[in-house]
Amino acid sequence: MKILGIETSCDETAAAVVEDGRRALSDVVATQIELHRRWGGVVPELASRNHVMQVLPVVDEALTRAGVSPAELDGLAVTSGPGLIGALLVGVQVAKALAAAWEKPLARVNHLEGHLVASFLAERPPEFPFLGLVVSGGHTSLYAAEGFGRYRLLGATRDDAAGEAFDKGAKLLGLPYPGGIAIDRLAKEGDAAAVRFPRAIVRGSELDFSFSGLKTALLHHVRRHGVPEGKGLADLCASYQEAIVGALVHKLFRAARTYQFRRVVLSGGVAANSRLRAAVAARAAEYEDLEVFLPAPRLCTDNAAMIAVAGTHALERGEREGPGLHADAGWRL
């Protein structure tokens, strides 16, 4: 079964062809990072306009690289939410038009489900059930994944997403967008114990996250001491990163213990963070019966192959979308 996936929910225009929900025959991502960098974040109108220009060439490229003609496809899958509404609409309209023109079935995919199943493209895929942590620029959520299409939300952020904490922190420090990568790189030379940041504790719910206090703590630190240079900046980045990673690891393993999961799957852009990957692997090694699945960084960040994986299973379940499919910016998984 060969499925074409299309993803335009934020600032990457992506298309991919995936076979049997397991193998990416192609995986094309046209990123808009350079376009948004001078504004310090994603500008929704610029994103939509750029998706309009990129989407057909990207789809063409995905088919060409896979060596698959439209007639050989078994179906299409598109991200219809959550995300930026104008950006989502581009992918949804194009997918509907292509599905109608090529007379192929179309499935809609929740972007978060895409992240949760990205690890099925890895050489060693997980099995259900697993505990999934989606950590991206827009989301920080823990899910019990019981099967394709069957997810239960266990905890989420009350305010900023982890990626937002990275991006906003980096902005305060004068680092380029997207901040996660910049902080990750600088932190490698820094001492994570140099500056103490508050541990993000959420009262009431044991598995929820909160990162806005941390960002405020960084703001106060910078107001008091200014933005350091050289080693001082590296120390500050390492300390700030450690506070984010510490909260993620703490809640992830608490959830794994509470619900007795034997598999933990990470995904989303922040799962590409080198310190988070090392900390999760180290912590998991303390458990006898807990396997960790960390997809390669390019599977963690936004891509269309993960959308095609989720779409393959939606089509197998008989789900079909017609011309009435709408983008849903706030679609909850």
In which order are the strands placed within the sheet that holds 23-31? 23-31, 12-19, 2-7, 75-81, 106-110
User: Can residue 54 be called a binding residue for Zn ion (CB under 5 A)?
Assistant: no
What character string, x for contact with Zn ion (CB under 5 A) and - otherwise, covers 135-154? -x------------------
Minimum distance from CB of 47 to ligand KG4 (Å)? 12
Chain centroid to CA 328: 18
Nearest to 250 by CA among 202, 214, 183: 202
160-163: long-range pairs with CB below 8 Å, 24+: 160/210, 160/211, 160/212, 160/215, 161/135, 161/136, 161/137, 161/211, 162/135, 162/136, 162/209, 162/211, 162/244, 162/248, 162/270, 163/135, 163/136, 163/137, 163/138, 163/268, 163/269, 163/270
Q: Do the annotations mark residue 303 as ligand-binding?
A: no
Minimum distance from CB of 291 to ligand KG4 (Å)? 23
Q: Do the annotations mark residue 225 as ligand-binding?
A: no
Minimum distance from CB of 117 to Zn ion (Å)? 13
Q: Do the annotations mark residue 289 as ligand-binding?
A: no
**Which tokens in the block code for residue 267?**
């995904």
Minimum distance from CB of 133 to ligand KG4 (Å)? 12
Q: Do the annotations mark residue 205 as ligand-binding?
A: no
User: Between residues 139 and 215, which has the closer beta carbon with respect to Zn ion?
Assistant: 139
Q: Do the annotations mark residue 136 as ligand-binding?
A: yes
Q: Do the annotations mark residue 134 as ligand-binding?
A: yes
Minimum distance from CB of 136 to Zn ion (Å)? 4
User: Between residues 12 and 98, which has the closer beta carbon with respect to ligand KG4?
Assistant: 12
In angstroms, what CA-CA distances link 165 with 138, 213, 276, 318? Answer: 10, 10, 14, 39
Q: Answer whether 197's CB lies under 8 Å from 243's CB.
A: yes
User: Between residues 188 and 199, which has the closer beta carbon with respect to ligand KG4?
Assistant: 188
Q: Do the annotations mark residue 135 as ligand-binding?
A: yes
Token pair 């620029």 is found at 137
By CB under 5 A, the count of residues binding Zn ion is 2
Task: Tell me which residues touch ligand KG4 (CB under 6 A).
Answer: 10, 136-138, 163, 166-167, 178-181, 184, 268-270, 272-273, 301-302
In angstroms, what CA-CA distances link 259 with 54, 132, 141, 254, 277? Answer: 43, 12, 15, 9, 22
User: Between residues 160 and 302, which has the closer beta carbon with respect to Zn ion?
Assistant: 302
Burial zone of 314 (CB within 10 Å; 0-12 exposed, 13-18 middle, 19+ buried)? buried
Minimum distance from CB of 298 to ligand KG4 (Å)? 10
Minimum distance from CB of 34 to ligand KG4 (Å)? 15
By three-state DSSP, how is residue 116 classified? helix
**Which tokens in the block code for residue 35?**
């376009």
The only residue of 104, 302, 306, 325 in contact with Zn ion, by rule CB under 5 A: 302
Residue 217 binding target from Zn ion, ligand KG4, none, CB below 5 to 8 Å by type: none
User: Between residues 222 and 329, which has the closer beta carbon with respect to Zn ion?
Assistant: 329
User: Between residues 18 and 118, which has the closer beta carbon with respect to ligand KG4?
Assistant: 118
User: Between residues 200 and 315, which has the closer beta carbon with respect to ligand KG4?
Assistant: 200
Residue 180 binding target from ligand KG4, Zn ion, none, CB below 5 to 8 Å by type: ligand KG4
Q: In the chain, where does DSSP find H-type helix?
A: 33-37, 44-66, 85-102, 111-117, 162-172, 179-187, 212-225, 230-258, 274-284, 297-300, 305-316
Q: Do the annotations mark residue 273 as ligand-binding?
A: yes
**Annotated binding site for substrate, which residues?**
134-138, 167, 180, 184, 273
Binding site for Zn ion (CB under 5 A): 136, 302
Q: Which residues are annotated as a binding site for Fe cation?
A: 111, 115, 302
